[in-house]
Chain A
């Protein structure tokens, strides 16, 4: 692999926002997740849990509830009092409808996805009909005092259970009448979450740490389990209604199962079974998929805990997964100027790298962001003199002037009006052009002019040639400035010729999401990594996969490589050695040497430490193409500044937890 001088950067102060709510779409195997800053993400479970789509948040838009309705439409509701439908193609809120009931605390869609019920601050439950092109108010159900914190539909759609402070109500949807209610007045008991089973059992979880099972027709308590001393915040039921999962504010999740009391007997009982402690903070959202328990907490972690008994074979699905960081690149690097640009949700930071043996690095003033919108994407040009970023409605371009150690940032006037938002920005390697990925598969090419101006050159439209409506989310340009590769939301990779501004070819479609791509500076081969951890190399001039890529596909990759958790988020090349490719995901850094043989399943994949102990000839025999380094964890970004110099950006988990509020105090034995 060779030796590198490493800039080990640990000053990227990213604190991911906590998970607020989740919604799982059983048919499409997609999980929609809303964070506390209002960002909405969609994970595709079929594509190895890849974060397929991300809609950045907005200061004024909090999301308290998410649900899928009418097929693949995603609705969110929040404390702004609006119901928002998200446009998952253009990755932005499409329409909003005011609920007229004050802040909305809860929302639920019925089983066939035709109706939405919202629970409002004023204690009303309102029904909305999902119609093409939006939602339509249908009726108001009986109003009560106290905010409605949770809602659940009976699977038949005739009744609705609503939980508020001290009360659980069951509402008849047709008449709007209220059925027997119950509550206690002694201490304020907040019903945080509720579920309505087809058997007529209402399950509630409350701030006393109880999970209670009610018979709604008789209004009696069937069973009560005290799970925790702190509140039980979230609850989810499996599709077969024989298992539920609850999340507590102490960071633990518990599974309850409906089990027969005796073998072969009819009598069944809810039994608390497995406890899991994966979070340090409140578990605000849980989801029960057929094969896994998914929990999201305020510590920003998304944990997918497979149910071993439901997973048929050992493999990718049978492993516990934790996601803390988005599957996106938040760092861009100006290689020549040795600058790093960090993208936060509402601001950017530009840092200059010092020498490797120094601890601190001076940084420049970040460009300030106006407005409540969050940043979609950002980029710094390789020469370090241009910074660009985009929010939902604006595109900004800055000129950076270096005067010795000080830096001045000046906004470039006269930015062309482009189709917004931009989902990805990419500077050409000569810093002369900026590529702006836009929706409907189009890419704008903007020429950057000295000493501080720009001009819209051309718009390349994928839509024209393939008819896709999805936005482009990844870009790669070649070093010689001739080629541009763009990936749209339907995972197609299009290659354009920048000389003629026309479509060159399309990479053969593959059934998984593209996580990263790059064009080799010397050979113009497009290197693509997919979310199922496969690697492809596509020769742009020849419009076909290279021989190496075919060889990889024939022999297959190592089993351990395919079972890794996190997708590759960045690809870089060694400028001096054309056969070496640098890949990284959150947990490892890999130098792929195409000149060496591929490892088979019997050899050790991570063999760097064993190789060191071997003699020279033995080492030669043991060498294989994947040289993996796990020293830097969790790794957000790694790039080669030159052939001898590597920059890595880490964000240690302890640093994140130090910035979170203290968790619920729990007595630990022996302390």
Chain B
């Protein structure tokens, strides 16, 4: 596989799951049910039964803003995006059927059963927004222009929640409803004192009834609105703050509402007295949606979570993406044990986020205090996190700023039995002021007794904490040494790779300490400018200390000569060394654009420069070790071989860099087989399944290909039969591919000669699957036969496949 020359920035999971209302697919059984939701640039399809991500529909070039099932074919899906296109998908197979280019930013999408060939979208028009209906032409072809726009209503709100369609669509009611809404919204803001601004609207599915949510927490049910003056409304009031979304049940007998209280309220028959609650949903409810048969509700939360709820208001499943904390203070930390990304999650919690499966592994309650939703209330939050080298110890610092600062340092021990962290030591007020940095002495082979933790604080000291083992078998942590330097604030700390040296930066100066005697060895500085970050070089470069100052200099000091080795003029925001190699990544922020520089400390010339690759400021970065080193062709990107670089932008978008081209990524579909797994079991498939187990992994799954290739593109049965039989035979060669590659080569070549055409088909399939495997955990080295086949594919002309 030859890597393309360009390095691309890719959103890697963790996208907001609450970009638009999620939709349930229609299916008879729960197993065949999917939940489709917009997530970043993708549409994600989750299985309702297992909450697994089944499919990722990629293709949009910008945020997906609306997802709607096609009203007349429930196996198809419309999605709209800010890139100005509406795409029609066959979501069960993950096929993009059509793309309609509208040419405006699309902010919301509504598909209605009454209007067969048009959908409604909200597009911006100068400062305001308008609701337009788009005629979708039925002509053949994949890419189409949809330029037939007719304006339905001017001056609507941009939020998709502020528009809803009632039972008689596009008849006077449709207009009426909307104009009513906006007529009132103008009036509402004029009222004295009352904060009854509209926040969302929903329409009764069968009756002339509109429910509106208001900023003061009230829900109003409007009726009789088709009379000029005699409209009437009733009020439902439970929420104490903004009503964020409303949804009527399928029959319209109950109304669901959600808000910042993170309680789903079900109102029965429009009565204020009869209501049910599903409390403790974790965070504010952004969207509420209901499956078309009413058996499931789903709520999208602001913390990037989707909760699936049974119709009897029983909590069913939860799909948790990367929680976007309000303020990430911990930075990106990698858990050495699980290789999960660790950062602030829910308030007071630490989330462990698995990058491979784009899923939260678990959430560790650090603060262990009830979080109270109230504006202006200062509550304890997690500020710093550090893991020891093996992930055995976890240190956390939480702070609460009221009139005076409350700090707590907690040390957690990983309990192998319960497989979770247990609180070991709690130290209140470890420093007099904010803790600025924290690190463990980072040695894999070291014994436990040499384990130490260093914290630096704004109170101008750094403290060294060690375990005292006299009281507890596990030991307790206590302070061992307090160091300071000329009364400057300590800002950063870092251990050298072998743990013998500790570098602590005090404003403009970097001090280097011997970690066994706590003697100050030497100091470095690069005036003017305070030290922003420091780090030691690794492996062959362990004699170097790298520091970045806030005056835009990146310096590299040689610890042996105690002199400046080189310096570069670069406004570095984040400096991140790769734990597995010598490479160090530096992100700079210049002219409102971020650039990435990768360098080795012993060479002043960067290995890789990626200028202006991101419009947003990079907040944090982390190298996550790969399970299997990636094959990277280009010398320039060798640094990506063992670790992957992730970074978090200002808007809390988690990104990574990838060398693969867009097309390659598009063909990925991570769990293609999940759909097939839900297919009914037949004797034939049982028979095939048995053989499949016997076959080694790299063998071509011929039977499957035969069954899944459309019949009209297959060669004649007589042609296929010998190949099929061959594939069912238990061949000795197949078992020992590794030992006898030459034989396999021969074998496969023979097969190729037999049926050239057939093999192209199989190889096509293989290519589809292969990148998945290389990304996933079960990656293996390409066998020779596969490489051979690949080479062949490149030669073959398969333009004939394009007919399907």
Contacts and interface: CB of A to CB of B under 8 A. Distances in A.
Given A209-B273, A226-B271, A226-B273, A309 B207 contact: no
Given A226-B271, A271-B223, A273-B223, A261 B208 contact: yes
A273 B232 contact: yes
Interface in A203-239: 209, 225-229
B610 to A, nearest CB: 53
Contacts of B235: 274-275
Contacts of B206: 261-262
Given A261-B208, A271-B223, A228 B232 contact: no
A242 to B, nearest CB: 10
Interface string B551-580: 000000000000000000000000000000
Given A263-B173, A273-B233, A309-B230, A669 B273 contact: no
Interface in B663-720: none
Nearest to A254: B234
Interface in B218-250: 221, 223-224, 226, 229-235, 240
A263 B208 CA distance: 7
Contacts of A228: 273
A273 B224 CA distance: 11
B486 interface: no
Nearest to A223: B269
A576 to B, nearest CB: 42
Q: Is the interface of B mostly helix, strand, loop or mixed?
A: loop
B234 A263 contact: no
Contacts of A271: 221, 223, 232, 234, 270
Interface centre among B167, B235, B273 (most CB of A within 10 A): B273
Contact of A259 (B167, B232, B272, B274): B232
Contacts of B221: 271
Contact of A262 (B208, B229, B230, B271): B208
A211 B230 CA distance: 23
Contacts of B272: 227, 272, 275
A225 B229 CA distance: 26
Contacts of B270: 271-272
Contact of B273 (A229, A261, A263): A229
A275 B270 CA distance: 13
A260 interface: yes
Contact of B224 (A227, A229, A257, A274): A257
A274 B232 contact: yes
A188 B272 CA distance: 24
B269 to A, nearest CB: 8
A669 B237 CA distance: 11
Contacts of A309: 229-232
Contacts of A273: 223, 232-234
A257 B240 CA distance: 27
A189 B206 CA distance: 35
Contacts of B233: 273-274
Nearest to B228: A309
Nearest to B240: A669
A470 B62 CA distance: 84
B173 A259 contact: no
A261 B224 CA distance: 9
Nearest to B269: A225
B186 to A, nearest CB: 17
Nearest to A261: B207
Nearest to A275: B235
B191 to A, nearest CB: 14
Contacts of B229: 309
B211 to A, nearest CB: 13
Interface string B103-135: 000000000000000000000000000000000
A670 B233 CA distance: 26
B234 A274 contact: yes
Contact of B234 (A226, A261, A272): A272
A261 B232 CA distance: 13
A273 B207 CA distance: 15
A257 B208 contact: no
A259 B224 contact: yes
A290 to B, nearest CB: 13
A275 B236 CA distance: 10
Contacts of B234: 271-275
Contacts of A262: 167, 206-208
A665 to B, nearest CB: 17
Interface in A232-287: 255, 257, 259-263, 271-275
Contacts of A275: 234-235, 272
B372 to A, nearest CB: 13
Given A271-B223, A669-B240, A260 B232 contact: no
Nearest to B227: A309
A260 B230 CA distance: 12
Contacts of B223: 257, 259, 271, 273
A388 to B, nearest CB: 49
A227 B236 CA distance: 12
A39 to B, nearest CB: 35
B250 to A, nearest CB: 17
A343 to B, nearest CB: 39
A257 B226 CA distance: 15
Nearest to A257: B232
Contact of B274 (A226, A274, A670): A226
Given A209-B273, A228-B273, A263 B232 contact: no
B207 to A, nearest CB: 5
Nearest to A272: B234
B271 A225 contact: yes
Given A226-B274, A272-B271, A669-B240, A263 B226 contact: yes
Interface in B376-392: none
Interface string B604-643: 0000000000000000000000000000000000000000
Interface centre among A228, A229, A273, A309 (most CB of B within 10 A): A273
Nearest to B224: A259
Interface in A653-671: 669-670
A227 B207 CA distance: 22
Nearest to A271: B223
A262 B233 CA distance: 15
A255 B206 CA distance: 23
Contacts of B230: 309
Nearest to B273: A226
A275 B230 CA distance: 16
A259 B233 CA distance: 11
A262 B231 CA distance: 13
B265 to A, nearest CB: 14
Interface in B182-226: 206-208, 221, 223-224, 226
A439 to B, nearest CB: 46
A259 B173 CA distance: 17
Nearest to A243: B232
Nearest to B274: A226
Interface centre among B207, B221, B226, B230 (most CB of A within 10 A): B207
Interface in B751-776: none
Contacts of A272: 234, 270-272
Interface centre among B223, B226, B235 (most CB of A within 10 A): B223
A124 to B, nearest CB: 35
Interface in A304-343: 309
A488 B646 CA distance: 93
Interface string B263-277: 000000011111000
Interface centre among B232, B240, B270, B274 (most CB of A within 10 A): B232
B248 to A, nearest CB: 14
5 contacts: A209-B273, A259-B224, A271-B223, A272-B272, A309-B230
Leading 4 A-B pairs by shortest Cβ distance: A226-B273, A309-B230, A273-B232, A273-B234
Given A259-B223, A271-B223, 9 more contacts: A255-B232, A257-B223, A257-B232, A271-B221, A273-B233, A274-B233, A275-B234, A309-B232, A670-B240
Interface of B: 167, 173, 206-208, 221, 223-224, 226, 229-235, 240, 270-274
